[in-house]
Amino acid sequence: MVPEMDTGKSRDRVFFDAVLHPHRSLSPNGFRLLMGLIAIAMFGVGTAFMIFGAWPVMGFCGLEFLLLYVAFRLNYRSGRAFETVRLSSSGLDVRRYSPRGEVGSWHLEPSWLRVTMDEPPRHDSRLTLASHGRSLAIGAFLTPEERLEVARSLRSAIDAYRTAPDPAAG
């Protein structure tokens, strides 16, 4: 994670602060176990075919295992992406971190911010933040239920932001 520099905003009141990560159902130990079992199974199939004279099948089993391993590794690599959403008295900041470490950053004014999400959520429902003609979809890698939970929490935080007394006015 990228360390944040102190910009004088450390006294900001925080209404919402979330880090959104993609869900991965298979742990690293589970991945190793699965790959081990698949390797044993493919070696067994390849050996059986080799005994019956179809020796090229052994090479194809190895290639198939390699492709499966690469596909899993690419999936885990995409799981390193995440987003941070922070609503404070200075505004709404969204940062999107790619698997390669590239960072996209957006600042939205929460006074006019609309949070839209289908209820009940569908698989293709998008969680969208819109303000002053700009819109940003967040949490695309979350399940529809998780996106709805984030949308509800963010709406509550925006309501709290809008009703909070302005410390600069007092």
Answer for the pair 138, 64: CB distance below 8 angstroms, yes or no: no
Band of pLDDT at residue 76, cut at 50, 70 and 90: confident
78-103, pLDDT tens digit by residue?
A: 888 899 999 998 889 999 999 888 99
What is the distance between the alpha carbons of residues 91 and 70, in angstroms, rounded to a whole number? 41
Q: What is the DSSP letter of 16?
A: E
Report the pLDDT averaged over residues 99-114.
89
Q: Any idea of the CA torsion for 25, 27, 28, 29, to the nearest 10 degrees?
A: -130
What pLDDT score does 168 carry? 52
Sequence-distant (≥ 6) Cβ neighbours of residue 71 within 8 angstroms: none
- Please provide the average confidence, as pLDDT, over all residues in the chain: 86
Per residue in 38-66, pLDDT (tens digit) is: 999 999 999 999 999 998 999 999 999 99
pLDDT tens digits, one per residue of 6-46 = 444 457 789 999 999 888 788 889 999 999 999 999 999 99
Start-to-end C-alpha separation, the chain: 37
Q: Identify which of 22, 30, 11 has the alpha carbon closest to the alpha carbon of residue 168.
A: 11
Give the pLDDT confidence score for residue 167 in this predicted structure: 54
- Residue labelled with tokens 């922070």: 86
At 155-166, the pLDDT tens digits run 999 999 988 876
Angstrom distance (rounded) from CA 144 to CA 160: 24
Token pair of 146 as six digits: 């998780």
Q: What's residue 153's pLDDT?
A: 93
Return the pLDDT at 10.
54
Q: What number is the average pLDDT over the span 58-79?
A: 90
For 154, the token pair is 């963010």
> Hey, is 128 helix, strand or coil?
strand
